[in-house]
Chain A
Amino acid sequence: MSVQQFMQNPWSNWMKGEGPDADIVISTRIRIARNLRHHPFPLLATDSQAEEVVRHVASVGQTEEMRKAGPFELIMMDQLQPLEKRVLVEKHLISPNLAEESRKGGVLLSKDESISIMINEEDHIRIQVLLPGFQLKEAWETGSRIDDIFERYVNYAFDEKRGYLTSCPTNVGTGIRASVMLHLPALVMTQQINRILQAINQVGLVVRGMYGEGSEALGNLFQLSNQVTLGMSENDILSNLYSVAKQIIEQERVARRYLLENSPVALEDRICRSYGILLHARTVESKEAAQRLSDVRLGIDLGIIKNVSAFVTNELLVLTQPGFLQRHAGQKLSPEQRDERRARLIRERLAAQSV
């Protein structure tokens, strides 16, 4: 296994398009923040202290238990070209913060890319588990297992009153951030989304775009996650998120049925029009691509488009990001060149499927 494989292969476990409620929930993610007791947090650490943390965490990655759970490959940020880092961000394997801001930042990546353990991000250790579909419990169990292994080898910063201590006060306590990526085209089309988003903020959950904090909700993709980490058990955090997500999923299904029953022609037209554009366009911007792919994905889920798999639309969402396009081309591209390559790539992928 080499770093190159992570770069060239756009395929990641989470894009499978499988799993429970996969027609609406693209992926589930759990992130667990942990720190070492006797080291300053990354913000204040000197280079040599940060290196020590890397050595410590990497050595745990070499243990028998971790090999069984992985195996894991250590990738240091300073070994990577900016484009390569971007590819890992676009695949959701590392955070933008680790790629751009970290000093002596690194990641232990599992072979199937479902587990990434970031080192020297905002916290010393950030365990991320990313699974396809709606799998909160499974993701937490996997993450918690990795957490237990680490605990055997490192001394965690933990306080009886405050719980797991983190660099930012918003993560203290359980240190977990659980999130689900929801595809909600029908709620957007029927203009119910704003009402729902407002309600969500009132129950201690947050909604963000596909690439986390500050990112726009492109392609009708919304990331729903918990805000509170202190004073609630992991179980309560997860079941709270679970039940709210479940309700939104139901609402989306109702909205889809409503559209199918009340304006079937308009809906089919929109879906097939987008499919046609993607099959034939010669240049397409990323924003339009995301929107059209969302339409196609909805068409697949509703059985209107039959010969394309959900996996392809998930894959294309990542493949058509700027980093990936340029990586694929092997060079830096201007925005115009990217739009052209994006259109070609989508055409080829969709054509390959529709035989």
Chain B
Amino acid sequence: MNCEECGKRPATLHLTKIVNGEKTEYHICEHCAQEKGDVISGFHNFSIHNILSGLLNFDPMAKNSFSSSLNSQTTTHKPLRCETCGLTYAQFSKSGRFGCSDCYRYFGDLLDPLFRRIHGNNNHIGKVPERTGGQLKIRKELEQLKTQLKRYVETEEFEKAAEIRDRIRALEKKIDQA
């Protein structure tokens, strides 16, 4: 189909306009569309930004009907939700607020682009709760000790093995207490 305006170029834009209940259809080419600016004024506001936020499926400023319709379209066929609090990813991308700490786990890597955009980064460095930090350290130490123990048992160095075994017990007790 050729453009209704110039009749030369192929029509690439197909628009429906409803005025007072009367439906008019336009089939025009991009060139004429630009000249006839008023017909498709909405398109001029549709920037690369909208497209990006649509892809990311997250736009806290979403007031634009384009990006929100993109959001709902891309999420309907895959309703991702946090099993703990029930917040869906679509709800999250609308409100920009998580429902509980498990949302982070359920939405997982999907959040990477979002965090990269806000913080330029995905991974936490900095303060770690002593309890978590301490336990992590102990667990790593335990793993090392257990492989050591195995080695001593294999080489029949039982005295050293017993020593290691005592240290393992002490660490396990520490974890239980925490």
Mark out the residues of chain A between 163 and 179 whose CB falls within 8 Å of any chain B CB in the assembled complex: 163-170, 172-174
- A340 interface contact, C-beta 8 A: no
* Contact bitstring A136-180, B, C-beta under 8 A = 1, else 0: 000000001001100100001111111111111110111000000
In the complex, the answer to whether B124 meets A163 with C-beta atoms within 8 Å is: yes
Query: Are A162's CB and B104's CB within 8 A?
Result: yes
Q: How many residues of A contact B (CB 8 A)?
A: 39
Known: A169-B111, A174-B124. A158 touches B97 (CB 8 A): no
- For residue A334, give the distance in angstroms from its CB to the closest CB of chain B: 36
Check B145 for interface membership: any CB of A closer than 8 A: no
Q: Does A174 contact B101, Cβ atoms closer than 8 Å?
A: no
> Which bracket fits the contact residues of B?
20 to 34
* CA A234 to CA B125, docked complex, whole Å: 8
Contact of A169 among B96, B120, B127 (CB under 8 A): B96
Check A230 against B130 for contact (C-beta < 8 Å): no
User: What's the Cα separation between A39 and B101 when bound, in Å?
Assistant: 8
Question: Is B120 a contact partner of A161 (Cβ separation < 8 A)?
Answer: no
A170 touching B118, Cβ below 8 Å: yes
B132 partner residues in chain A, CB cutoff 8 A? 158, 160
Number of inter-chain CB pairs below 8 Å: 107
Find the B residue at minimum CB distance from A44. Answer: B99
Partner of A43, one of B99, B105, B118: B99
Contact of B128 with A by CB under 8 A: yes
A204–B118 alpha-carbon span in the complex (Å): 10
> Does A6 make an interface contact (CB < 8 A)?
no
Select one of B97, B100, B118, B129 contacting A156, CB under 8 A: B129
Give B residues with C-beta under 8 Å from A. 84-85, 87, 95-101, 104-105, 111, 114-115, 118-132, 136
Add 12 more A-B contacts to A41-B99, A230-B115 (CB < 8 A). Answer: A40-B84, A41-B97, A44-B99, A151-B130, A160-B132, A163-B124, A164-B124, A169-B114, A173-B124, A173-B126, A231-B121, A231-B125
A-B residue pairs in contact (CB < 8 Å), sample of 17 = A39-B100, A40-B85, A41-B100, A43-B95, A151-B129, A151-B131, A160-B132, A162-B104, A164-B124, A165-B104, A167-B98, A168-B96, A172-B119, A174-B124, A174-B126, A228-B120, A231-B123
